[in-house]
Structure formats: structure tokens, C-alpha cells
Structure 1
Amino acid sequence: MFSFAGIATAVLDGHGTVLRWSQEACDLLGWTAEDACGRPFRALFAEARPGADDEGLPARGRARLRHRAGGPVDVTFRVLDLHPAGPSVVLLAPTRSTDDWGQGASTLRALLAQEHLGMALHDRDLTLVRSNLTPGLLGGATLPPGGRLRDVLSPEDAETGEAVLRRVLRTGSPLTGGP
């Protein structure tokens, strides 16, 4: 599941002045709400943005902002205009995190596209979220999203399988191969 942890937010008025500042923004950039509110958001940029103008921020992109301690912070951002026209919400995340999210999603898509590598993702309740398993791959019935192992396995096999999934949840160590 996508995590919203670490995504910083700021609310800007129509002129780019910070109206609201989240705790995550403080954690990311070191500026408290008292420091940031009432100041132009563009004052946080560590360097001029190519193609920048006085009309505001681009709808999305990457930028190098200035941490309160003076160092640079590379961020990926998205500006969401609120209606009626006026305020905007800026979502900010460390670029390293957004790159990791994108690479993780691409890796998962590639793994799930494999024909000879069976993969199943379960949520914390042990219900199936996503799988590339087909009836011919493992020789049995497939489990539909939202299903449980007991829907397609014998009670004994389902209990064994769920015990393995609970161990993965508890330890964080993935299961490769068999139980």
C-alpha cells in the first residue's frame, strides 16, 4: 500500500504566500509553521528554477529547497489548486522517496507480469490483494482478489499457508520457495 508518511503539505494563497504548514513540512525542511506562514513559498527555494516566473509554481516537478539549517533538500512536488480560485495545496516529498516509490511500483508490475514466477500479495488480514497466479501455473484453482486461502485449499493446507503468511507479517522476512 502506498504510504502517505513523510508527505509534507503547505497551503498557499493566490500570491504564493504560505497560509498553513504541516508538521511533516517542518520535519522535512526544519521551518516551523510560525517561521513559514506569512512568507512567500518561493523564499524556500535554494536555487532559481529554470523557466520560473512570478506567476507561481509549475503544477508539478522537482526542486531544491533550503533547509532551515542551510543545507539543500531535494523534493518532488505537486501543486493542487483549490476551488473557487485562490488557495493551493502543495504536496512535497523527498525526491529519494518518490524515486523509491516509483521504482518499487515498476518492479512490482514487472514481477506480476512474469509467466513462470508465481507471486501473491496478501494484506494484513491475509486476504489476497493481487496475484499473477493462473490455474495452469500451479495446477490448482486460483484465488480471486479479496479471497482467502481457505476458499481454494483444504482446511489443513489453508491453516498451514496462513501460518506462513502470519510469520511473514510478524518477521518481515519474505517467503521464497515453499513453507
Structure 2
Amino acid sequence: MNRRPLVIAAAIAGVLALAAFALPNLPPNPVTDALAKQVLREEGKRYASAADAPKRGDRAFVLPGWIPQDATDIRIRARGDGGARLIRFTLGKTPLDGPKCAAAAPKKTGGPRLDARWWPHDTRAEERPECRDRYQYQVSVRGKKVYAWTDGTPSPGARIPDGAPAATPAGAAAR
């Protein structure tokens, strides 16, 4: 019996599993970026200021409207479908005027489903829902640093791709 194909398949599976655990913790470079994009279907971008970020195009890297125009050092990590995102930025002179959810009670969310070296893992207690974008974000402000994430949960009252408002379950409660 030829075991060579089995050994090769096991080695490939091991490399892919190792990549899935190691990639978020490796410093960004062309190799890790390409592997993250192909294996994890994730991509990261960094902008010096909000003015440098795209205003339209790939929805994953267009900033939500509630981010101040004078924000700087913007980092985004997004899943390939654009739904799940991590965003970190530094506030300028314009204060963050939120977070707020005026349309209806926000849905409960589980937690960020992405990871990045620049993302703190202890923001849960200080997060507040932000619903003024297509997706509902959880936002934490620490001094001048703002951390926001979404798992792709539509904001209450937001329009989803077919143009219909997103449904909000009657039992949804704010965190």
C-alpha cells in the first residue's frame, strides 16, 4: 500500500491548521497577507487618515459614516465578504458623537470573529452598540483610541441588499 499520498495530505492539513492559528499573530508582510487572504479569507488595510480611506468601492474598507473625518491611524481587518470587521482609529479634535442606536433596540452579538495583533481582547465591558451604519458595531473608546467591531449583524432599521429594512426580533435587547 502506498502511503505517500496520505502523508502528503496530512502534511498539507497540518500546514493549513498551523497557518490558521499563526497568521493573525505574525507581523504583516506580503507572504502573511497573501496567506491570510487565501486561507482565512481575511484582509487588512491601514490608512494614515480618514481622508486616505476609500469613500466607495470595496465595502469592507469604506469607513462607516460615524467615524470623524479627522480620525487618524486607521486600521481595518475584514472578512472577505465584508460583513465581519475590526476597526481601530485615533480621534482627532472632533469627539466621537456616539455610539448610539436610535432606530430600535440593537441585537445581542457574540463577539468579534476576527483577530489582529493591534486588537485588545478586553473591551467587552466597555463596548456600546452603534447602529448608524449598515451593520451594527460594538464600540469601545479608550482615551483617543477607538475600537469598533461588527460580526455582520444588520443595524436595526438598516437596509439590506434587497432594499428591505432589516428585521429586528421582538426579544432583542441592548447589551
Pick the TM interval, shorter chain: under 0.3
TM-score normalised over the length of structure 1: 0.22
TM-score normalised over the length of structure 2: 0.22
Determine which structure has the larger helix proportion and give its number: 1
Q: Identify which of structures 1 and 2 has the higher relative contact order when contacts are C-alpha pairs closer than 8 Å and 6+ apart.
A: 2
